[in-house]
Structure 1
Protein backbone atom coordinates (compact mmCIF):
# COMPACT_ATOMS: atom_id res chain seq x y z
CA UNK A 1 0.00 0.00 0.00
CA UNK A 2 1.11 3.51 -0.72
CA UNK A 3 0.59 6.34 1.75
CA UNK A 4 -2.24 8.46 0.32
CA UNK A 5 -1.08 11.87 1.58
CA UNK A 6 2.65 12.48 1.87
CA UNK A 7 4.17 13.44 5.18
CA UNK A 8 5.53 16.94 5.64
CA UNK A 9 9.31 17.22 5.60
CA UNK A 10 11.42 19.07 8.16
CA UNK A 11 12.00 21.74 9.03
CA UNK A 12 8.55 21.98 10.63
CA UNK A 13 6.94 25.17 11.86
CA UNK A 14 8.40 26.01 15.32
CA UNK A 15 5.23 25.14 17.24
CA UNK A 16 4.88 21.82 15.43
CA UNK A 17 8.56 20.99 15.89
CA UNK A 18 8.31 21.75 19.61
CA UNK A 19 5.24 19.53 19.98
CA UNK A 20 6.85 16.66 18.11
CA UNK A 21 10.06 16.97 20.16
CA UNK A 22 8.07 17.00 23.42
CA UNK A 23 6.10 13.88 22.45
CA UNK A 24 8.86 11.90 20.77
CA UNK A 25 11.61 12.67 23.34
CA UNK A 26 14.46 12.49 20.86
CA UNK A 27 13.03 9.65 18.75
CA UNK A 28 12.13 10.16 15.07
CA UNK A 29 8.56 11.41 14.65
CA UNK A 30 5.78 9.00 13.78
CA UNK A 31 4.37 9.16 10.25
CA UNK A 32 0.98 10.09 11.65
CA UNK A 33 2.50 13.18 13.26
CA UNK A 34 4.47 14.25 10.18
CA UNK A 35 1.42 13.77 7.98
CA UNK A 36 -0.70 15.94 10.24
CA UNK A 37 2.17 18.48 10.30
CA UNK A 38 1.15 19.46 6.75
CA UNK A 39 -1.48 21.72 8.35
CA UNK A 40 -0.71 23.57 11.59
CA UNK A 41 -4.38 23.99 12.47
CA UNK A 42 -5.21 20.29 12.09
CA UNK A 43 -2.01 19.28 13.88
CA UNK A 44 -2.89 21.56 16.82
CA UNK A 45 -6.49 20.32 16.99
CA UNK A 46 -5.36 16.70 16.95
CA UNK A 47 -2.90 17.16 19.79
CA UNK A 48 -5.37 19.23 21.80
CA UNK A 49 -7.69 16.19 21.81
CA UNK A 50 -5.05 13.75 23.06
CA UNK A 51 -5.65 11.96 26.35
CA UNK A 52 -2.24 10.51 27.18
CA UNK A 53 -1.78 12.81 30.17
CA UNK A 54 -2.55 12.04 33.81
CA UNK A 55 -6.32 11.94 33.96
CA UNK A 56 -8.99 9.86 35.66
CA UNK A 57 -7.63 6.55 34.39
CA UNK A 58 -4.42 4.73 35.12
CA UNK A 59 -2.10 3.74 32.28
CA UNK A 60 -3.36 0.14 32.25
CA UNK A 61 -7.01 1.16 31.91
CA UNK A 62 -6.11 3.69 29.24
CA UNK A 63 -4.04 1.24 27.21
CA UNK A 64 -6.69 -1.50 27.38
CA UNK A 65 -9.18 0.93 25.84
CA UNK A 66 -6.75 2.25 23.23
CA UNK A 67 -5.44 -1.18 22.24
CA UNK A 68 -8.88 -2.77 22.08
CA UNK A 69 -10.40 0.13 20.12
CA UNK A 70 -7.59 0.26 17.57
CA UNK A 71 -7.61 -3.54 17.21
CA UNK A 72 -11.37 -3.57 16.59
CA UNK A 73 -10.85 -0.85 13.96
CA UNK A 74 -8.05 -2.95 12.41
CA UNK A 75 -5.53 -0.12 12.81
CA UNK A 76 -2.36 -2.18 13.03
CA UNK A 77 -0.39 1.08 12.77
CA UNK A 78 -1.78 2.63 15.98
CA UNK A 79 -2.25 -0.65 17.85
CA UNK A 80 1.36 -1.56 17.10
CA UNK A 81 2.74 1.78 18.26
CA UNK A 82 0.84 1.61 21.55
CA UNK A 83 1.73 -2.02 22.23
CA UNK A 84 5.40 -1.32 21.51
CA UNK A 85 5.60 1.88 23.54
CA UNK A 86 3.16 1.42 26.43
CA UNK A 87 2.34 -2.26 27.01
CA UNK A 88 5.22 -2.89 29.41
CA UNK A 89 4.46 0.23 31.49
CA UNK A 90 0.78 -0.81 31.52
CA UNK A 91 1.73 -4.28 32.76
CA UNK A 92 0.12 -6.06 29.81
CA UNK A 93 1.41 -9.59 29.27
CA UNK A 94 1.50 -11.61 26.04
CA UNK A 95 -1.86 -13.30 26.71
CA UNK A 96 -3.51 -9.92 27.30
CA UNK A 97 -1.97 -8.38 24.19
CA UNK A 98 -3.25 -11.33 22.16
CA UNK A 99 -6.68 -11.00 23.76
CA UNK A 100 -6.85 -7.28 22.98
CA UNK A 101 -6.15 -8.02 19.32
CA UNK A 102 -8.05 -11.27 18.78
CA UNK A 103 -9.83 -12.33 21.96
CA UNK A 104 -12.79 -11.32 24.07
CA UNK A 105 -13.74 -9.96 27.48
CA UNK A 106 -14.32 -13.57 28.56
CA UNK A 107 -10.65 -14.51 28.24
CA UNK A 108 -9.16 -15.72 31.53
CA UNK A 109 -6.41 -13.09 31.55
CA UNK A 110 -8.68 -10.21 32.65
CA UNK A 111 -9.97 -8.95 36.00
CA UNK A 112 -13.67 -8.15 36.30
CA UNK A 113 -13.00 -4.42 35.88
CA UNK A 114 -10.85 -5.02 32.81
CA UNK A 115 -13.59 -7.21 31.31
CA UNK A 116 -15.93 -4.23 31.64
CA UNK A 117 -13.49 -2.07 29.70
CA UNK A 118 -13.27 -4.69 26.95
CA UNK A 119 -17.07 -4.99 26.84
CA UNK A 120 -17.39 -1.20 26.68
CA UNK A 121 -15.02 -1.02 23.71
CA UNK A 122 -16.86 -3.85 21.95
CA UNK A 123 -20.26 -2.23 22.53
CA UNK A 124 -19.11 1.18 21.32
CA UNK A 125 -17.53 -0.38 18.26
CA UNK A 126 -20.58 -2.49 17.39
CA UNK A 127 -23.41 -0.12 18.34
CA UNK A 128 -21.88 3.29 19.15
CA UNK A 129 -23.73 2.97 22.45
CA UNK A 130 -23.59 1.27 25.85
CA UNK A 131 -26.67 -0.50 27.19
CA UNK A 132 -27.97 0.30 30.67
CA UNK A 133 -26.70 -2.92 32.29
CA UNK A 134 -23.14 -2.34 31.11
CA UNK A 135 -23.35 1.35 32.03
CA UNK A 136 -24.45 0.47 35.56
CA UNK A 137 -21.61 -2.04 35.87
CA UNK A 138 -19.10 0.57 34.69
CA UNK A 139 -20.49 3.14 37.15
CA UNK A 140 -19.75 0.75 40.01
CA UNK A 141 -16.03 0.98 39.12
CA UNK A 142 -15.55 4.43 37.57
CA UNK A 143 -16.44 8.00 38.51
CA UNK A 144 -18.55 10.11 36.18
CA UNK A 145 -15.42 11.96 35.10
CA UNK A 146 -13.62 8.69 34.37
CA UNK A 147 -16.62 7.49 32.34
CA UNK A 148 -16.48 10.68 30.27
CA UNK A 149 -12.76 10.11 29.73
CA UNK A 150 -13.34 6.48 28.71
CA UNK A 151 -15.90 7.55 26.09
CA UNK A 152 -13.64 10.31 24.76
CA UNK A 153 -10.63 7.99 24.69
CA UNK A 154 -12.45 5.30 22.70
CA UNK A 155 -13.84 7.92 20.31
CA UNK A 156 -10.50 9.65 19.83
CA UNK A 157 -8.74 6.39 19.00
CA UNK A 158 -11.50 5.45 16.59
CA UNK A 159 -10.70 8.75 14.85
CA UNK A 160 -6.98 7.93 14.95
CA UNK A 161 -7.80 4.54 13.41
CA UNK A 162 -9.74 6.25 10.62
CA UNK A 163 -6.71 8.42 9.90
CA UNK A 164 -4.11 5.66 9.97
CA UNK A 165 -6.22 3.24 7.93
CA UNK A 166 -7.58 5.66 5.33
CA UNK A 167 -4.21 7.37 4.85
CA UNK A 168 -2.61 3.92 4.40
CA UNK A 169 0.22 4.90 6.74
CA UNK A 170 3.11 2.43 6.50
CA UNK A 171 3.70 0.57 9.76
CA UNK A 172 6.40 2.04 11.98
CA UNK A 173 9.53 -0.14 12.11
CA UNK A 174 9.64 -0.38 15.90
CA UNK A 175 5.91 -1.07 16.30
CA UNK A 176 4.35 -4.40 17.20
CA UNK A 177 2.41 -6.37 14.60
CA UNK A 178 -0.99 -7.97 14.98
CA UNK A 179 -0.63 -11.55 16.20
CA UNK A 180 -1.34 -14.27 13.65
Structure 2
Protein backbone atom coordinates (compact mmCIF):
# COMPACT_ATOMS: atom_id res chain seq x y z
CA UNK A 1 0.00 0.00 0.00
CA UNK A 2 1.40 3.39 -1.00
CA UNK A 3 1.29 6.10 1.66
CA UNK A 4 -0.43 9.35 0.75
CA UNK A 5 1.89 12.34 0.60
CA UNK A 6 1.42 16.06 0.71
CA UNK A 7 1.90 17.98 -2.52
CA UNK A 8 4.73 19.86 -0.76
CA UNK A 9 7.18 17.75 1.20
CA UNK A 10 7.07 18.09 4.99
CA UNK A 11 10.12 18.60 7.15
CA UNK A 12 11.52 15.31 8.38
CA UNK A 13 13.15 14.74 11.77
CA UNK A 14 15.52 15.53 13.22
CA UNK A 15 14.32 19.14 13.19
CA UNK A 16 16.49 22.19 13.79
CA UNK A 17 16.42 23.15 17.49
CA UNK A 18 14.30 26.28 16.91
CA UNK A 19 11.71 24.38 14.85
CA UNK A 20 11.65 21.52 17.38
CA UNK A 21 11.01 24.07 20.14
CA UNK A 22 8.15 25.60 18.17
CA UNK A 23 6.63 22.16 17.52
CA UNK A 24 6.98 21.28 21.21
CA UNK A 25 5.20 24.49 22.30
CA UNK A 26 2.30 23.95 19.89
CA UNK A 27 2.03 20.17 20.25
CA UNK A 28 2.97 19.99 23.95
CA UNK A 29 5.51 17.26 23.27
CA UNK A 30 3.40 15.16 20.86
CA UNK A 31 4.77 14.54 17.36
CA UNK A 32 4.03 17.48 15.05
CA UNK A 33 1.05 17.28 12.71
CA UNK A 34 1.66 16.93 8.99
CA UNK A 35 0.18 20.43 8.53
CA UNK A 36 2.82 21.93 10.80
CA UNK A 37 5.64 19.94 9.21
CA UNK A 38 4.62 21.09 5.72
CA UNK A 39 4.12 24.71 6.82
CA UNK A 40 7.50 24.73 8.58
CA UNK A 41 9.18 23.70 5.32
CA UNK A 42 8.47 27.25 4.13
CA UNK A 43 9.93 29.61 6.79
CA UNK A 44 7.97 32.74 5.80
CA UNK A 45 4.65 30.88 5.58
CA UNK A 46 5.34 29.12 8.92
CA UNK A 47 6.17 32.42 10.63
CA UNK A 48 3.01 34.10 9.29
CA UNK A 49 0.89 31.08 10.24
CA UNK A 50 2.18 31.05 13.81
CA UNK A 51 1.79 34.83 14.04
CA UNK A 52 -1.92 34.44 13.25
CA UNK A 53 -2.37 34.35 17.01
CA UNK A 54 -5.42 32.08 17.01
CA UNK A 55 -3.65 29.01 18.34
CA UNK A 56 -4.39 30.26 21.87
CA UNK A 57 -7.63 29.96 23.83
CA UNK A 58 -9.06 33.44 23.27
CA UNK A 59 -12.34 34.73 24.76
CA UNK A 60 -14.56 31.81 23.65
CA UNK A 61 -14.88 28.79 25.90
CA UNK A 62 -13.55 25.51 24.49
CA UNK A 63 -16.98 24.27 23.41
CA UNK A 64 -17.83 27.47 21.51
CA UNK A 65 -14.38 27.54 19.91
CA UNK A 66 -14.57 23.94 18.76
CA UNK A 67 -18.07 24.33 17.36
CA UNK A 68 -16.85 27.25 15.25
CA UNK A 69 -13.73 25.38 14.09
CA UNK A 70 -15.48 22.07 13.41
CA UNK A 71 -18.34 23.66 11.44
CA UNK A 72 -15.94 25.87 9.47
CA UNK A 73 -13.75 22.90 8.55
CA UNK A 74 -16.78 20.78 7.64
CA UNK A 75 -18.21 23.52 5.41
CA UNK A 76 -14.85 23.65 3.64
CA UNK A 77 -14.79 19.84 3.24
CA UNK A 78 -11.57 19.76 5.29
CA UNK A 79 -11.66 16.33 6.87
CA UNK A 80 -7.99 16.69 7.84
CA UNK A 81 -8.42 19.62 10.26
CA UNK A 82 -11.94 18.63 11.35
CA UNK A 83 -10.62 15.19 12.32
CA UNK A 84 -7.64 16.59 14.22
CA UNK A 85 -9.91 18.90 16.23
CA UNK A 86 -12.59 16.32 16.92
CA UNK A 87 -10.01 13.80 18.10
CA UNK A 88 -8.10 16.30 20.23
CA UNK A 89 -10.83 18.52 21.67
CA UNK A 90 -14.37 17.13 21.24
CA UNK A 91 -14.46 15.22 24.53
CA UNK A 92 -13.00 18.09 26.56
CA UNK A 93 -15.41 20.48 24.82
CA UNK A 94 -18.35 18.31 25.84
CA UNK A 95 -19.42 17.51 22.27
CA UNK A 96 -21.39 14.30 21.97
CA UNK A 97 -21.71 12.08 18.87
CA UNK A 98 -24.91 13.79 17.66
CA UNK A 99 -23.27 17.22 17.96
CA UNK A 100 -20.10 16.05 16.24
CA UNK A 101 -22.16 14.63 13.39
CA UNK A 102 -24.24 17.82 13.21
CA UNK A 103 -21.11 19.90 12.60
CA UNK A 104 -20.78 17.99 9.32
CA UNK A 105 -24.33 17.12 8.26
CA UNK A 106 -26.89 19.41 9.88
CA UNK A 107 -25.46 22.71 11.03
CA UNK A 108 -27.45 25.35 12.85
CA UNK A 109 -30.80 23.66 12.32
CA UNK A 110 -29.91 20.52 14.27
CA UNK A 111 -32.08 20.04 17.37
CA UNK A 112 -29.04 19.20 19.52
CA UNK A 113 -27.89 22.84 19.77
CA UNK A 114 -28.87 25.45 22.34
CA UNK A 115 -30.24 28.79 21.09
CA UNK A 116 -26.82 30.40 21.58
CA UNK A 117 -25.10 27.59 19.69
CA UNK A 118 -27.65 27.85 16.88
CA UNK A 119 -26.84 31.57 16.54
CA UNK A 120 -23.13 30.75 16.63
CA UNK A 121 -23.39 28.12 13.90
CA UNK A 122 -25.72 30.27 11.80
CA UNK A 123 -23.05 32.98 11.87
CA UNK A 124 -20.37 30.49 10.80
CA UNK A 125 -22.60 29.34 7.94
CA UNK A 126 -23.41 32.89 6.83
CA UNK A 127 -19.75 33.90 6.87
CA UNK A 128 -18.88 30.82 4.84
CA UNK A 129 -21.65 31.40 2.30
CA UNK A 130 -21.55 35.19 1.94
CA UNK A 131 -18.48 36.48 3.82
CA UNK A 132 -20.77 38.68 5.90
CA UNK A 133 -23.60 38.67 8.42
CA UNK A 134 -26.94 40.29 7.73
CA UNK A 135 -28.35 42.54 10.45
CA UNK A 136 -30.59 39.77 11.82
CA UNK A 137 -27.72 37.25 11.99
CA UNK A 138 -25.52 39.77 13.76
CA UNK A 139 -28.32 40.68 16.16
CA UNK A 140 -28.91 37.01 17.00
CA UNK A 141 -25.20 36.51 17.59
CA UNK A 142 -24.96 39.67 19.71
CA UNK A 143 -27.86 38.51 21.87
CA UNK A 144 -25.63 35.67 23.13
CA UNK A 145 -22.03 36.84 22.68
CA UNK A 146 -20.17 40.03 23.59
CA UNK A 147 -18.03 42.05 21.20
CA UNK A 148 -14.78 40.23 22.05
CA UNK A 149 -16.40 36.86 21.35
CA UNK A 150 -17.93 38.11 18.09
CA UNK A 151 -14.51 39.26 16.88
CA UNK A 152 -13.06 35.87 17.83
CA UNK A 153 -15.83 34.00 16.00
CA UNK A 154 -15.20 35.96 12.80
CA UNK A 155 -11.42 35.61 13.13
CA UNK A 156 -11.65 31.86 13.77
CA UNK A 157 -13.86 31.39 10.71
CA UNK A 158 -11.32 33.16 8.53
CA UNK A 159 -8.30 31.45 10.10
CA UNK A 160 -9.75 27.96 9.79
CA UNK A 161 -10.97 28.63 6.27
CA UNK A 162 -7.32 29.39 5.49
CA UNK A 163 -6.23 26.22 7.32
CA UNK A 164 -8.80 24.31 5.25
CA UNK A 165 -7.41 25.82 2.05
CA UNK A 166 -3.91 24.74 3.10
CA UNK A 167 -4.87 21.20 4.07
CA UNK A 168 -7.09 20.66 1.03
CA UNK A 169 -4.91 22.50 -1.49
CA UNK A 170 -1.76 20.71 -0.37
CA UNK A 171 -3.68 17.42 -0.28
CA UNK A 172 -2.44 16.59 3.21
CA UNK A 173 -2.91 12.93 4.07
CA UNK A 174 -5.27 12.43 7.00
CA UNK A 175 -3.58 11.96 10.36
CA UNK A 176 -3.73 8.26 11.24
CA UNK A 177 -5.28 8.78 14.67
CA UNK A 178 -7.69 11.55 13.66
CA UNK A 179 -11.45 11.18 13.38
CA UNK A 180 -13.09 10.83 9.97
CA UNK A 181 -16.25 12.57 8.78
CA UNK A 182 -19.30 10.61 9.93
CA UNK A 183 -21.19 8.90 7.14
| TM-score range relative to shorter protein | over 0.9
1:140 is matched with 143
Q: Distance in 1 between matches of 2:83 and 2:90?
A: 10
Give the number of equivalent residue pairs: 180
1:178 is matched with 181
Q: TM-score, normalised by structure 2?
A: 0.94
Q: Distance in 2 between matches of 1:61 and 1:13?
A: 36
CA-atom RMSD in angstroms: 1.2
Q: Distance in 1 between matches of 2:109 and 2:45?
A: 39
Moved over 4 A (4+): none
1:44 is matched with 47
Give CA deviations for 1:118-140 in whole Å, capped at 9, x if unaligned.
Answer: 10111011111110001011112
1:5 is matched with 8
1:124 is matched with 127
1:84 is matched with 87
> Which one of the candidate residues 158, 163, 168 is aligned to 2:166?
163
Alignment of 1:4-23 (within 5 A): 4-23=7-26
Q: TM-score, normalised by structure 1?
A: 0.95
Cα drift, residue 104 of structure 1:
2.4
Cα drift, residue 34 of structure 1:
0.3
Give CA deviations for 1:98-126 in whole Å, capped at 9, x if unaligned.
Answer: 00011121211100000011101110111
What SS does the corresponding residue of 1:105 show, helix, strand or coil?
helix
Q: Distance in 1 between matches of 2:43 and 2:16?
A: 8
Structure 1 gaps, min length 5: none
Cα drift, residue 2 of structure 1:
4.3
